[in-house]
Amino acid sequence: MAHKFVGLSEDHKKIYLYELNVKTGNLKKERQVLWGGDWLSIKDNYDFSDIGPGWLAINWSPNTPKAKTLFIKEADTTDTRPLEIVFVDVGQGDGAVLITPPERNEEERIMVIDAGEGENMKTFLEGRFAHRGFQFEAAIITHPDMDHYYGFKSIFENNTIGFNTIYQNGLVERPVKGTFDKVGGYKEDAKTKKKVH
């Protein structure tokens, strides 16, 4: 099945998917789609006699009970994915996912930049990328504040999620006097039986 991406219109106007009213033959706006990020699954062998040339039929939500055929102007699509940046609501802190265009018949590269403090980033990754598997190009921890790195804990503990490379700047968040909880807590040395961090 062929696919395309939502393009950037020449006049920078909003781009929509349309639904066909089979009784009237009119198209009405169904939903706005975003430049670059929205992957469109093209419906093969569609009879366009109802709406005329210049349109593509889209399989919208094909594996759900809400599956339907929607339409987009062919001029509003592109064959290649542009750079996509998704800013994820991770609660306290920051989190983003960077998706590069594919190069020379390779898959796109996906990098997770910071993950907030909770499990919101993990939930987003599981929902967005379940169809392609969970081996990502990189995890990037920009700096050692808990509200940037601690969300990676649940991601790194999940054996189904992997990264080719993990980048961080080498700095460690310094604990408040008397506690090492933020950096893993105290551990007991097996030989000396002393608590170490």
Query: Over its length of 197 residues, how does the chain's per-residue pLDDT go in tens digits?
Result: 688 888 877 788 888 999 999 888 899 999 888 766 567 888 888 888 788 888 999 988 877 888 889 999 998 988 887 788 889 998 877 899 998 887 666 778 899 999 999 999 999 998 888 766 789 999 999 988 888 899 999 999 988 899 999 999 887 766 566 555 555 566 777 788 777 65
Q: Is 121 helix (H, G, I), strand (E, B) or coil?
A: helix
The pLDDT value given to residue 85: 87
Same domain, residue pair 12 and 58: yes
Same domain, residue pair 73 and 89: no
The pLDDT value given to residue 119: 94
How many Å apart are CA 31 and CA 16, to the nearest integer? Answer: 6
Same domain, residue pair 165 and 94: yes
The pLDDT value given to residue 49: 79
Angle at 123 between CA 118 and CA 129, to 5 degrees: 140
Domain count for the chain, please give it. Answer: 2
Instruction: Give the single-character DSSP code of 21.
Output: -
The pLDDT value given to residue 42: 87
Which residue range(s) make up the domain with 72? 3-78
